[in-house]
Structure 1
């Protein structure tokens, strides 16, 4: 999907003026409260952390807070799960885990809570064998095959990870498919271990791949790139930074006594004294900033010793300052200074100025103005267009900020007022299921007929599967089901990256205005809803992305307030939807299914996972909704086939559950 470009909004329109008034109210009332809240939250959390560290000195506490940590509870461990099928991926698996755990401390520690804070405790005995499990030969009296592997995997995911071990587990499953033995690896890891140690789920498997194959990957997912990234502002910042850096380095070389000790061999003037004073202040700020980042705190009593040390290493004393001041009052020195400046102006005006004017004229006529880098023409030709583009981008960003507060409140609290039929009292245990693989070829054919992208087509089949779930469960089909949607690239699962991707709030229409069960109309409504979300939820996407990357919300708001707010939102948005896209250039991996656990009061998580030329729907839900959750994955391929028939695409067959690399599967054989 094409990215929306920066645009100039109607600055005289009534809605825009209303948004400005709303923003002024927000800035005058909310921002000061947020600033005060940030200071209070940071100080109180630091004090509480210091107190708990004093009470439990043997523990290593988790300093960073996150949304998922706040919503964690005893019955919701927040376990990310990845199921991988392939060849030779279990070779040297134990050796790989031994090496990985030896280099990562938290993999050898148990996770606990002390006084409301997460903490890592050393284990008396650690063994990889407690975390690397091998499936039995049979499950419930039957051999594990394609007919019951889903039931077995779901039975494993229902069990909590042992509290007396580190919160990670790798299970090797031996499964017979059409009489041929296949191996699956089920990786389950707590979100704190992944976040704190900067790990991916695939790091727990000895996979072989080249990072160069992941560089150029594009996706048409509507859940990413809700706004085009600014281009002129970063380039302007880079150029100004480079220019300032060059100027500053030249300033250091000419005026820093540490670089030029001969400065003090003669009497210095007041101007040079001021320059050295600036250097002392800047170096002091650098040291204080570095210390603040190391110890995550700064005391006022530390400032004066650092300032004195930086002045002492440069021999910058009060005596030097007083002598410089007296020297500047000397009439002889002042006369010499004035004469030198007059001489410089005379030489510049008489000799240098004609040469400079000639260079400016040559640069003005030249089509390659960068050939004359020292001219004013070259500087203006470089900076003026960039400044103009940056100003337009800044204006567009300001316009989006003006609209943000009202749009966020409307989306999160005022729109879509309805009951959440998926709301249950969770037990915390999670069950999983996944669908047969459907070919991307049929998605391309439907897309060519309808003009919808593949994600919108998959969402239509998902909505139809949800309707079947409601019917089978005896529940009334609601007008729509609210979901939070997030895009995850294959790279994020297999190679750690730092892309800040936010969330999108999406309404899935289970009922449509004209026809109740018309898949084409559902597709059209989904397209409109996605288009509306992409045009109005820029701020939500940016804020949630900033929270994931920098902890924006958790550093400004108290955890108790955030928990109340998020529990309310997860009651409204009953499904957590994840779209996984991108190539899978991993040697030996035939297929993969990823589950992102639901959190808060959200009871179901869905994953649309594309790998190679196939797509699967994965479902993770609270055990209280099982086994009805399998209805969704069973119906998904049929719904996609019905959509294809509705738009005139010839009937297709699902991929065969063959275990060969040509047609890999983890199908339960429905």
Structure 2
């Protein structure tokens, strides 16, 4: 008798969860329609009210969590071999980016010349770019830091200080800072600051193009992944980073329980799956059997649809790059922006660390102006309530870790880089 009631409770729970899921579908659909048309209406009103602006239609999560004091500005550090020819670098950025035009004579990357402003909580591009001057964006820094020549021993402190300085709000949100060397035997450095919306909304502009990097072997220069997109052809860093064990065990256990329950459920009502019932003496005789039959049919239809979609995706060739990262977000499409921000702030309280993985097929890079680039580092900013950003790099057989932390964590965040170096030295390759 006790087992009977347990089966009844299990069946009632299954039916209840199914009913709740079905009831949520109209609500999610309604939320999607309200969020979509609400955004379209606000964009239309803003475009009418401010005809000199182009309202950004980015649905990326990063756009929602931007603040004036913590904008989504990526930092890239290049170590370049040879003498520092600032004029040559400035002309390369003008030739390959800001002054580059297509076959019709239009600017290929117009947003590099446009100011980025906020309007009623939305980002917008200023259409008038007549005041653009590349000298405001490609800057020559000093070769000394606190009275000492800039070298590998103090470049981290110098870059950290430069990263704390904001790009002026009345300028397009990108900047290239050239840090010259004191003598030709040492390398010089280039720090690039870049707002994430420039890459997100300039469809033809990639990270490697913004850094003016060229691969001598004509391979894919750089792939960036932070948990949203994965490149199956790229070697992962999981071999060098310990995977969480208990979470995977818990997930596998839950999946096993679901499969066992489902198989038991199918076994009890498998006679109902026959088209006419002529091969079985069991018939649909009560409401429980009817509901069970409906559940089995719906699940089979959904699984068949998922399998077909998966097969279609496998047949399509996709190249994963930085500009595709979180380009479309289900969360921002289903829910209004205010609710989405609440969710993001809540989850970032519990998960205050972000991890970004950057892959490159080779460690050999060449700048567009002809010099060899010895090393490239990406610093992704921690946003919302996150306070620490870890950036794992692999270019060829070279591994690096770049850390960007909240100012309140400094200088303790350097312990992570030292631990990573010790870990890589002790690991068996």
Under a length normalisation based on structure 2, what TM-score does the superposition of the two structures give? 0.68
Aligned to 1:455: 237
* 1:564–1:613 CA distance, 2 compared to 1 (3 A): same
Does 2:104 correspond to 1:98?
no
Q: Which residue of 2 aligns with 1:46?
A: 40
Distance 2:56 2:410 in 1: 34
Q: How does 1:294-305 map to 2 (within 5 A)?
A: none
C-alpha contact 1:172 1:184 (8 A) present in aligned 2: yes
1:214 match: secondary structure: coil
> Is this contact kept in 1: 2:35–2:336, CA < 8 A?
yes
2: CA distance, partners of 1:33 / 1:197: 34
1:438-473 per-residue CA deviation (whole Å, 9 max, x = no partner) reads xxxxxxxxxxxxxxx9734533xxxxxxxxxxxxxx
Instruction: Find out whether 1:528 has 2:245 as its counterpart.
Output: yes
Question: Displacement, 1:580?
Answer: 2.0
Structure 1 length-normalised TM: 0.45
Question: Could you tell me which residue of structure 1 aligns to residue 190 of structure 2?
Answer: 185
Q: Structure 1 residue 637 and structure 2 residue 421: aligned? A: yes
Provide the residue aligned with 2:68 in structure 1: 74
Q: 1:17 to 1:577 in 2, by over 3 A?
A: farther
Measure, in 1, the Cα distance between the counterparts of 2:254 and 2:84. 43
The 1-side partners of 2:44 and 2:226 are apart by: 44
Q: Is the 8 A contact 2:55 2:122 kept in 1?
A: yes
State the partner residue of 2:282.
none
How much has 1:130 moved relative to structure 2?
A: 0.6
Distance 1:17 1:132, change over 3 A: farther
Q: Measured at CA, do residues 527 and 130 of structure 1 come closer, stay the same or move farther in structure 2, by a change above 3 Å?
A: same
SS of the residue aligned with 1:161? coil
- Which deviates more, 86-95 or 594-603? 86-95
- Residue of structure 1 equivalent to 2:266: none
In structure 2, do the counterparts of structure 1 residues 140 and 536 end up closer, same or farther at CA, with 3 Å as the change threshold?
farther
Query: Are 1:583 and 2:361 an aligned pair?
Result: yes
* Contact 1:595 1:607 (C-alpha < 8 Å) held by counterparts: yes
5 Å-filtered alignment, 1:56-455, equals 56-87=50-81, 92-99=88-95, 100-102=97-99, 103=107, 104-121=109-126, 122-123=128-129, 125-175=131-181, 180-198=185-203, 199-209=205-215, 212-214=218-220, 455=237
> Does structure 2 retain, via aligned residues, the 8 Å contact 1:146–1:175?
no
| Deviation, structure 1 residue 210 | 5.8
Q: Deviations over 1:310-348 (max 9, x none)?
A: xxxxxxxxxxxxxxxxxxxxxxxxxxxxxxxxxxxxxxx
1:26–1:610 Cα change, 3 Å: farther
Q: Is the 8 A contact 2:81 2:186 kept in 1?
A: no
Residue 29 of structure 1: which of 23, 31, 47 is its match?
23
Conserved? CA contact 1:222–1:455, under 8 Å: no
State the partner residue of 1:558. Answer: 336
Aligned in 2, Cα 1:125/1:547: closer, same or farther, shift over 3 Å? Answer: closer
- The number of residue pairs the alignment matches comes to 337
Q: Are the aligned partners of 2:179 and 2:189 in contact in 1 as well (CA < 8 Å)? A: yes
SS in 1 for 2:212: coil
Does structure 1 retain, via aligned residues, the 8 Å contact 2:84–2:181?
no
Q: 1:533 to 1:93 in 2, by over 3 A?
A: farther
Q: Which ranges in structure 1 are unaligned for 5 or more consecutive residues?
A: 1-12, 230-452, 460-522, 651-670
Q: 1:63 to 1:226 in 2, by over 3 A?
A: closer
Asked whether the 8 Å contact 1:161–1:167 carries over to 2, the reply is yes
Measure the CA separation in 2 of the matches of 1:218 and 1:79: 18
CA shift in 2, pair 1:174/1:200, >3 Å: same
- The one-character-per-residue Cα deviations of 1:206-252 (angstroms, maximum 9, x if unpaired) are 3333685239x999x996888999xxxxxxxxxxxxxxxxxxxxxxx
Q: Deviations over 1:93-131 (max 9, x none)?
A: 222322311331111111110111101123452111111
Q: Secondary structure of 2:338's match? A: helix
Query: What are the equivalent positions in structure 2 for 1:472-551 lying under 5 Å apart?
Result: 523=242, 526=243, 528-529=245-246, 531-532=248-249, 548-551=326-329
Cα drift, residue 560 of structure 1: 0.3
Q: Alpha-carbon deviation of 1:193?
A: 0.7
| Contact map agreement 1:171 1:186 (CA 8 A) in 2 | yes
Cα pair distance change 1:36/1:455, threshold 3 Å: same
2:143–2:182 CA contact under 8 A, matched in 1: no
Report the Cα offset of residue 594 of structure 1: 1.2
Distance 1:555 1:30 in 2: 16
- The 1:627–1:51 alpha-carbon spacing in structure 2 relative to 1, beyond 3 Å, is same
RMSD: 3.9
- Quick check: which has more Rg, 1 or 2? 1
Corresponding residue for residue 404 of structure 1: none
Q: Per the alignment, in what secondary structure is the counterpart of residue 576 of structure 1?
A: strand
CA distance in 1, matches of 2:151, 2:160: 14
Looking at secondary structure, tell me which structure has more helix per residue.
1
- Structure-2 residue corresponding to 1:403: none
Q: 1:218 to 1:557 in 2, by over 3 A?
A: closer
Whether the aligned pair in 2 keeps the contact of 1:96 and 1:205 (CA below 8 Å) is: no
CA contact (8 A) 1:133 1:171 kept: yes
